[in-house]
């Protein structure tokens, strides 16, 4: 997140914790699932630990592939987590008594899914 260039993750979590305590509000985390980046068992455990520390709920968002854009560099390494793996991840969060919403993805088939609007460059 761009905000992390100014404030560390530790500072952001501190601010979230403070806000939740002062407002008696549950925090909503938007969690975009990226294959082999944040869908591992250790990521699940860290998210459970965070959600137990700060009253919260989690919106799990499947990542929409960028491959139709022929990405280069780091973007080329980003891939969606499989839906079965996402469902297992969500179920394990629920088993830990964490409120989870699993967002549905639409428009990926026409490169118009959330955050993925793109134009393919055509070479003439």
pLDDT tens, position by position, 74-120: 888 999 999 999 999 999 999 999 999 998 876 655 555 554 444 44
Domain-embedded: residue 70: yes
What's the domain range around 59? 26-110
Domain-embedded: residue 42: yes
The CA distance from 84 to 89, in Å, is: 9
Domain-embedded: residue 17: no
- Contact in structure between 92 and 44 (CB atoms under 8 Å): yes
Domain-embedded: residue 47: yes
Please count the structural domains in the chain. Answer: 1
121, pLDDT greater than 70: no
The predicted pLDDT at position 88 comes to: 97
Domain-embedded: residue 65: yes
Domain-embedded: residue 5: no
The predicted pLDDT at position 124 comes to: 46
* Over residues 1-18, mean pLDDT: 86
Domain-embedded: residue 6: no
Interior angle at CA 4, CA 35 and CA 71, nearest 5: 40
Domain-embedded: residue 82: yes
pLDDT tens, position by position, 27-79: 999 999 999 999 999 999 999 999 999 999 999 999 988 887 788 888 889 99
Query: Pick the residue with more confidence: 13 or 117?
Result: 13
């Amino acid at each position: 997140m761009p905000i992390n260039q100014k404030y560390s993750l530790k500072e952001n979590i501190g601010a979230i914790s403070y806000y939740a305590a002062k407002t008696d509000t549950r925090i909503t985390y938007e969690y975009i699932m990226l294959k082999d980046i944040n869908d591992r068992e250790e990521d699940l455990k860290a998210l459970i630990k965070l959600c137990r520390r700060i009253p919260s709920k989690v919106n799990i968002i499947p990542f929409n592939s960028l491959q139709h854009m022929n990405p280069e560099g780091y973007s080329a390494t980003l891939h969606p987590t499989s839906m079965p793996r996402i469902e297992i991840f969500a179920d394990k969060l629920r088993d830990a008594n964490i409120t989870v919403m699993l967002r549905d993805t639409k428009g990926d088939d026409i490169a118009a899914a959330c955050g993925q609007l793109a134009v393919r460059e055509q070479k003439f």
